[in-house]
A and B are shown apart, each in its own frame.
Chain A
Amino acid sequence: MKFLKAHLFILFIIFWFLIILPYNCCAQANQMIITPDMQFEYAEKLFAEKDYETAMVEYKRFIHFFPDSIIRDQARFKVGVSLFNLNKFNEAAKIFNEIIMEDKENEITKESFFFQSRAFMEMGNTGYAQIVLQNYLKLAKDMETKDRIYFNLAKIHLTQARNGKSDSLSLARNSLTKISRSGADIYNTDQYLDLVGKAEQESKKNPKLAGALAIIPGAGFLYCERYRDAFTTFLLNTGLLYAAYTAFENENKALAGVIGFVETGFYSGNIYGSISSAHKYNRAQTIKILSKEFSIIPGLDLKKNQYGLSFNYCF
């Protein structure tokens, strides 16, 4: 029995030295340690390949495993940019906001302001896009950054002008004129100032005048060069007014009331439509001028029932 135990022990020792020990040693030798640089480089590689979804996961992995790394902020910024490129603008804006709120004076914070503004622009929220840049304008110290802010503000105002917002063209002009001489050469502001000038000089319709003229049914539409609408409005309103008057004269007050109610809607609609037509006319004129220089692509989102114009121009 002792002899058998000794044999078993010897066999175990042999097994240990020949199989288990070399296996463990090999496993240790093959074990790979991922350094922060390796992880970040891999994420950067994916980002360069435009695989933003995977790149974002790898940047997040980097932030999780190496929270004390000096390039952690850069990884967070890249998460935001990846989200931006994936058209997840709301989430991207939140990431950029987190970076901005840390209040560090570096290139990442600076770019975060611009990217957050762009994210709001992409969401169609030109107001917030403007506020972000105006806030950064108060913090910016160097002329180069200020020029860039003014230029981006001009872009926002041009977009607002396209959407029919009043005074946007003059605000765009104001932002462009604030760009320094050196910045003006870089951004070629003269070209854009000429364009704003042309858009301002283009014949416009006064919405207040259109509304005032609409007291005579159809005159507002006539002023806005909508001749068919004007004719229809005139006929409809005069017809309904005459019908209401006749019904009242014939002691049919109930009928007169019903017709009067319908007529009130059409008469108010005539005033509303005239003012609206003047605004639409002005917007169309602005788009016409701006589209001569920039490519404006109409877009349609039937799910949200929204209509928009993609406004692309090289700055």
Chain B
Amino acid sequence: MLPRNDKTHKDNNRKSIFFIVLFLFFFFLMPSAWAENVLVKFYQEHISAVDGNRCPMYPSCSVYASRAIEKHGSVLGWVMACDRLVRCGRDEVYQSRPIIIKGRKSVYDPVSANDFWWFEKEKKQ
């Protein structure tokens, strides 16, 4: 028989692990559109709206993430979004083309500039 506080602690851990597994399950199996609409829109509407758009890249990291998920699905979209977060505002600024959007200088780095080496979009004949 375990002491009461140890048992509670273990139960809490089990619950947490259960929710994490559930989250991961839905994250990797959910439709791309859902990921785009819910996760990214939540960030854009409730965090970025308050925090302000300070992303030096165009499209911004959140839009990039939603487009990557839309184009390549949840798993690869998530990986590409993480890659973009690391590159955002660093060496990419000196290597990609600058553009001016609404009077603000940004660096153009769309999804197509990062998947061109393996993904060729189906083109209309």
Contact = CB atoms under 8 A, between A and B. Distances in A.
A207 B114 CA distance: 13
Given A164-B117, A227-B91, A306-B112, A272 B124 contact: no
A280 interface: yes
B97 A273 contact: no
B59 interface: yes
Contacts of A90: 124-125
Contacts of B97: 298, 300, 307
Interface string A168-212: 000000000000000000000000000000000000000100000
Interface string A224-257: 0011110011001000000000000001111101
A123 B122 CA distance: 12
Nearest to A227: B91
A270 B83 contact: yes
Contacts of B85: 266, 269
A283 B112 CA distance: 14
A197 B83 CA distance: 33
In terms of DSSP, what is the predominant structure of the interface of chain B? helix
Contacts of B117: 164, 207, 275-276, 279
Contacts of A273: 83, 86-87
B24 interface: yes
Of A125, A128, A255, which is in contact with the most chain B CB atoms at under 10 Å from its CB? A125
Contact of B20 (A232, A258, A300): A258
A158 interface: no
Interface string A91-108: 001000000000000000
A254 B17 CA distance: 5
A232 B90 contact: yes
A284 interface: yes
Given A265-B78, A307-B112, A307-B113, A229 B86 contact: yes
In terms of DSSP, what is the predominant structure of the interface of chain A? helix
A205 to B, nearest CB: 12
B80 A269 contact: yes
Interface string A261-272: 100011011101
A23 B110 CA distance: 72
Given A90-B124, A228-B91, A306-B112, A276 B83 contact: yes
Contact of B80 (A221, A272, A284): A272
B38 interface: no
Of B86, B87, B117, which is in contact with the most chain A CB atoms at under 10 Å from its CB? B86
A85 interface: no
A268 B79 contact: yes
Interface in B8-65: 9, 13, 16-17, 19-20, 24, 59
A128 B67 CA distance: 26
B59 to A, nearest CB: 7
A11 to B, nearest CB: 72
Of A261, A272, A284, which is in contact with the most chain B CB atoms at under 10 Å from its CB? A272
A272 B59 contact: no
Interface string B93-122: 001010100000000101011111100100
Contact of A269 (B17, B82, B113): B82
A255 B20 CA distance: 9
A306 B91 CA distance: 21
29 contacts: A90-B124, A127-B123, A164-B116, A226-B90, A226-B95, A228-B91, A229-B91, A252-B13, A253-B17, A254-B13, A254-B17, A254-B19, A255-B16, A257-B17, A258-B20, A261-B24, A265-B82, A268-B79, A269-B82, A269-B83, A270-B83, A276-B83, A280-B113, A280-B114, A283-B116, A300-B99, A305-B59, A305-B112, A307-B110
Given A207-B117, A273-B83, 15 more contacts: A125-B123, A128-B123, A163-B116, A227-B91, A252-B13, A254-B20, A257-B16, A269-B79, A269-B85, A272-B83, A300-B99, A300-B108, A305-B67, A307-B108, A307-B112
